Amino acid sequence: MLSGTTISSIIAVALVFSLPTKAAPRQMMRRSTPELSLTAQLQIADTAIDRYKLLSKDEDFVYDFTNSTTPFANRETFPALVGSGTSFSVGQLPACSMVYLHLHPRATELFVLNSGRVLTQMVPEAGVLDSEGKQRVINTELGPGKMTIFPAGSFHTQVNPDCEPANFTAAFSAEDFGFGLVAQETFSLSDDAIAATFGQSIAGEDIDKVRDAIPTDAVIKVEQCLTKCGKQKRHI
């Protein structure tokens, strides 16, 4: 049997837990959030209508790729994207350049070429095989007006093999698409893990050699093409 005292303690505890739950929504509404970034405020807004109130100027709905420090608009650089589930990139692949083997952890990319020529390679995922039963690699050659798709998480790389720059636009199926640099990330593992991953074919000092040789900029210049075009190697 529960004593009267025990029952009143249980009721008291129940009240303590129930009161804040009822009071919480009101407190949330009253709390001002100036310390949060606009993107953060937009993310916690109760409704889309509230988001429009936070984006009160018409200019809040314009992203100027010609005057921005980043070649992509994500929900951090362009807060109006919050709630849309999308982001966008406009950029130029310089002559004889290659975008590192990379992936986007949260987004499928639709990559459209607007000028020039770009060769792409994409590795979809384990189990997607070619006619010989080997890992399938999807190669495309894009010219103006052509588009390819890089599904979320797929490894991909883009090469501009010509002497002129290639302009592209790319749409992403997430507001914060993110980047994974495959080689850099692999070689950030411990030496033991790398040696095991590559079937002990690489060990000791060689691991450091490979690690140090991986370029750190996202776009690398392709030597042969530079010679063909009579251009100097430069880092961008």
Ligand X SMILES: *[C@@H]1O[C@H](CO)[C@@H](O)[C@H](O)[C@H]1NC(C)=O
Q: Which residues bind ligand X (CB under 6 A)?
A: 64, 67, 92, 114-115, 167
**Cα radius of gyration (the chain):** 26
Helix, strand, coil shares, percent, the chain, to 5: 35, 25, 40
Nearer to ligand X, 64 or 212 (CB): 64
Measured between alpha carbons, how far is 57 from 101 in angstroms, rounded to an integer?
Answer: 39
Tokens 């997607």 found at: 128
Tokens of 29: 């509404």
Q: What is the closest distance, in whole angstroms, from the C-beta atom of residue 48 to ligand X in the complex?
A: 26
Measured between alpha carbons, how far is 171 from 176 in angstroms, rounded to an integer?
Answer: 12
Tokens of 110: 């639709």
Q: What is the closest distance, in whole angstroms, from the C-beta atom of residue 105 to ligand X in the complex?
A: 28
Per residue, the 3-state secondary structure of 213-233, as one string, reads HCCCCCEEECHHHHHHHCCCC
Nearer to ligand X, 166 or 207 (CB): 166
Q: What is the closest distance, in whole angstroms, from the C-beta atom of residue 112 to ligand X in the complex?
A: 12
Q: What is the closest distance, in whole angstroms, from the C-beta atom of residue 226 to ligand X in the complex?
A: 20
Question: Closest residue (Cβ) to ligand X?
Answer: 115
Q: Which candidate, 168, 206, 170, 169, places its Cα nearest to that of 187? A: 206
Nearer to ligand X, 71 or 178 (CB): 71
Nearer to ligand X, 104 or 116 (CB): 116
Measured between alpha carbons, how far is 202 from 183 in angstroms, rounded to an integer?
Answer: 15
Q: What is the closest distance, in whole angstroms, from the C-beta atom of residue 143 to ligand X in the complex?
A: 12
Nearer to ligand X, 86 or 167 (CB): 167
